[in-house]
Structure 1
C-alpha cells in the first residue's frame, strides 16, 4: 500500500538516529524480524522518509502501523488532496477531526509562548520561499506584505470539530509538528496492543518508552551539523540515554534544508512576523519532551530564537530538556545543554 502524496517538507535538516539494528524495508513491504525477549522490529519508508519501530510484543503489527499512517495522512497531510487539512485550506470544508484539533491546539500553545515566531498559519510564506506544498515564482516585498495580512494563529478558531478561518486566504501547514505527532500516534497504537517498551522513529523524530531488548534504556545519537553528511556513529555530536518514562525527542536545524535564491542559501525556518527566512546563532536544536509532538514543534520554534532566549522559552513547558549546537566561529561546534539533558549524555 502507499500514501497518496509525499510529505516532503517533513524532511527537516536535523536528524536523530536510533542506535538499534533494523531490517531493511520499503513501504509497505515492511520488513520485520524477531529479537530476544520477544521484541519485534519493523522498518520501511513513508512520507518520503524512513521509519523504524521496535516494541516488546512478538506479533507483527505492520498492518496497524500502516493504518495509523493512513489515518494521519487523511487528517494532516497537505500534499494529499483528499485530506481534511487540504479541504480546509481550499475553503471546501471546515470539518476537522480529533487529530487535527489536537495538533492545532498544541501548536497554538507554542505560538503563544513564542510571541508568534512559531505559527502554523505561515504556510503561504513557506510556499513563497519554496519549502511548502505549493510553488511560487518570485519573492518581493510587496508579496510578503500582502501575505502578512492573512497570517496569524489567532485568526483560526475551533467550534467543536469545525475549524474556522477569519480569512479564506489562510492556509495551514502542520509539517513542523505533525511528524512528531505521527510518531506519538504509532506509540499510542502499540500501547493499545499491550506494549510497554517501544521506540518509534519517523524521519528522525522519536517516541519512546521503557527499555530495549537487552533490558537497558534506549540510546540515540544526535548528528553533527554537517551539510550533506551521511549518518554514521563517527559523525554524532553526542549520544544520549533516554529516560524510561514515555516521551519524545526531535531535532531541527537549517544546515541541510535550504534553497538557493539568487545564488544565496536561504534557510527553511521562516519568521512568520516578517515573512523572511531566519538564521540565528543556533545551528541545531534537540528537544526532549513528554510527547514527540511537543518536541517536534518546540525544536522548530527554538530555531527562531537566539541561544540565550531558549531557556526562558522552554520553561513554559514542564518536562522539557534541550541541547543546542552552535558554531564556534571556525570549523567546529559547541553545545549548550539544559542540566537535565546533560545528565543523559553518554561518555565517549
Structure 2
C-alpha cells in the first residue's frame, strides 16, 4: 500500500456511498492500493464509472501494484517505452530532486523495497553492507528518457512513484472534472487532495492531524483546520507508517543520500500548491530535509507550507507556516 503518511481529513464529509446532498454528489472507491473520495457539484450524479475507468488507466501507467503497468515494466527491464503520464511524473520528479538537493528521488525503489514499504520483497536483515550495495543504484543521474524510452544506467535501478503518483492522480481527475464543467469539487486520493470553488458558499475546510503515534484515525485529533479553495494539499509524516524490528524504528521516509530512514525534527509537513503532484512530492522532500532546509525549499520554489516540528532544545511540539497560511487557519 502506498505511503500512509498523508492524513488530511476534509471536515464534515463522510464517504460511504454515492449519494446526493442538494446539488452535490459524493463518490468513493479504491485505487493504487488505497482509497479515493470525491465530492462535486453538477448535473451528472453518476460519474463514478468514468472516474474508475480513468483511475484504471492511471494505474496501468504508474501503479507498481499492477504487474503490467508502465512503471512495473520499467522496473523489470530497460529501454522501455513510456507513456505521457509516466513522462509527466518523471519530469516533475527530476524538478523536485533538483530543488530539494536530492532529498526527493524516485530511484529509491531498491531501498523502499528492502525496508518493506514498496512492492518488492522485504529484506530480513538490514545492515550497512546491504544499504551500501543498494545505494549504487540510487540517483536521478542513473535514469533518463530518450525518444519516449526510459533508459537505466543499470538494470537494477528501480523506480518508486509512491511519493508523487497519488498527487498526480488527483490532478488527472481534476482535469477531467474541469472538462465536465464542474466548478466546485474536492478530490482526494490516498490523503492528497485538491479543492476548487466553494462548498455551501464557503471555502473547503481541510483538517491536518496531530502527528503523534496512536493518532491512527484521520480527523480524530486535529492539529489545525484550514479554509482553502483552488489549491492542492498534501501532508507527509512518519507517525503512522513505520515498524519496529530488533528495537529499531524504521520509517517510510528514506533519505536517498544515506539510504536510511530520515528522522528529522519535522513531524509532519503539509504543502499547499497549485497542483497536487507538486504538493505530494515536496511534502516528502521536506520530511527528509528537516525544518531549516524545508523552509528554504518552500521559499525558493514559491510554495505554502504548514510544518509541525519538535524543538531541538526542549523537545516541545511547535508549528511554522508561511505567511499565506496564516490567513487560511480557521481553528487551532
Using structure 2 for the length normalisation, give the TM-score.
Answer: 0.94
CA contact (8 A) 1:77 1:83 kept: yes
CA contact (8 A) 1:40 1:58 kept: no
Which position in structure 1 is the counterpart of 2:293? 309
Task: Tell me if 1:158 matches 2:141.
Answer: no
Which position in structure 1 is the counterpart of 2:100? 114
CA distance in 2, matches of 1:299, 1:79: 23
Task: Tell me if 1:210 matches 2:197.
Answer: yes
Which position in structure 1 is the counterpart of 2:26? 41
Task: Tell me if 1:340 matches 2:324.
Answer: yes
Which position in structure 1 is the counterpart of 2:263? 279
1:272-321 per-position Cα deviation (integer Å, ceiling 9, x unaligned): 11111110101000000011110000000000112122121112323x10
1:3-50 per-position Cα deviation (integer Å, ceiling 9, x unaligned): xxxxx0x232241001132341xxxxxx211122x2211123333433
Select the residue among 284, 297, 303 that pairs with 1:300. 284
> What SS class does the counterpart of residue 71 from structure 1 fall into?
helix
CA distance in 2, matches of 1:232, 1:90: 35
Task: Tell me if 1:194 matches 2:178.
Answer: no
Label 1:14 to 1:66 Cα distance change in 2 as closer, same or farther (>3 A). Answer: closer
CA contact (8 A) 1:32 1:42 kept: yes
> What SS class does the counterpart of residue 336 from structure 1 fall into?
strand
Using structure 1 for the length normalisation, give the TM-score.
Answer: 0.90
1:213-237 per-position Cα deviation (integer Å, ceiling 9, x unaligned): x121111100001223243656110
Task: Tell me if 1:12 matches 2:4.
Answer: yes
Select the residue among 320, 327, 330 that pairs with 2:310. 327
1:90-141 per-position Cα deviation (integer Å, ceiling 9, x unaligned): 1066111000110111011110112212110011011111111112222122
Unaligned runs of 5+ in 2: none
**RMSD over aligned Cα, in angstroms?**
1.8
CA distance in 2, matches of 1:68, 1:306: 36
Number of equivalenced pairs: 329
CA contact (8 A) 2:208 2:219 kept: no
CA contact (8 A) 1:282 1:327 kept: yes
